[in-house]
Structures are given as C-alpha cells and as structure tokens.
Amino acid sequence: MAILNILNYPDPKLHTIAKPIEVVDNSIRKLIDDMAETMYSAPGIGLAATQVDRHLQLILVDISETKDNLKVFINPKIIESSGQQVYEEGCLSVPDVFESVKRAEHIKVQALDREGKSFELEADGLLAVCIQHEMDHLLGKVFVEYLSPLKRNRIKIKMKKRAKEHLVNV
C-alpha cells in the first residue's frame, strides 16, 4: 500500500469529470487500498479518486469512530433522494476550511463494491452528506462551489498563499 498525493484546491485537475470503471480488477483493488491508507492517514472520512489525480468513478467513505467500516462505491449513482439538511463540511483537498452546505437528507445509492458486485445503500445524516460530497468530486465539483463567490474567492486566495508558503519551506 502507498499514501497518495492529494490534490489541493484550486488545482484545475479537481474539475476533471471521472470516467466509469469498466472492469473491477486487481489494479482497481490496489487503488482502493492505497486510497484507504491515504484517507485514514490524512485523516479523513471520505476520499474520491479525483482527489488523488485518478479520474475514475471511485469513492471511499468511513464515518466510523474506529475507522474499521470502509465503504467502497464504484460507479456510484444516487437513485433516490429526499429532504434537506445543512452540514458543516470540510475536505482533504481544502485543508482547514469548514463551511455549511445544504444537501439531501436521505439518499439511496447504487454502486459496485470492491469485488465488482452491485449493491444499494440507503443513507442519511453524516453518511449521506459524505457520499454526496465525494460524488461531487467525480463530477469535478469541490464543496466550496456551493458557497458565495466572495467566500469561494477568499478560500482560493488562502489556498494559493498556503501553497506558496509550502514551496518556500520545502
């Protein structure tokens, strides 16, 4: 397993639309394992392949306190949604930024698991938020795009300044 590099906003690669995974094979399972190690070490509760510069429809989610309930979604599709909830979200691609975002309260997702078997999952609360957040990455969308242009611009400036400071310190 390996820890992968996570792209940081406003990297234009975060706006790449992910392609469906045609075959779930050992290379996809290795990517899943590497992404899981990356997500847990970050630490985070979700990660999309787009965030590690692999533009495939693959997301991982684990909202458990014990970090032992990894959920893998390959080619996920939301087939039902209802209600609305506002949740304070953060993102591994936008470090140290937390903002309130409105999303569906209840969703039903259809996807493939790490073995390529189809499944459906109903989710609400934090799990529903996390799945929707990660699925947005597959569409090339970062959560800050739900914010006002002013807030989004402030975050973009903060992230660019942070990247420059990191380059100076390397």
Tell me which residues are annotated as active site: 134
130 is in an annotated binding site: no
55 annotated to bind ligand = no
Helix (H, G, I), strand (E, B) or coil at 98: strand
Amino acid identity, position 10: P
Structure tokens at 84: 């609305």
In a 3-state reduction of DSSP, which class is residue 34?
A: helix
Asked if 92 and 6 count as a contact pair (C-beta separation under 8 A), the reply is yes
| Half-sphere exposure in the Cβ direction for 18 (13 Å, CA) | 28
- Exposure string (b/e) for 84-114, b if CB count within 10 Å is 16 or more? eeebebebbbbeebebebebbbebebebbeb
Q: Give CA torsion, residues 8, 123, 148, 95, to 10 deg.
A: -30
Binding positions are 91, 133, 137
Binding positions for Fe cation are 91, 133, 137
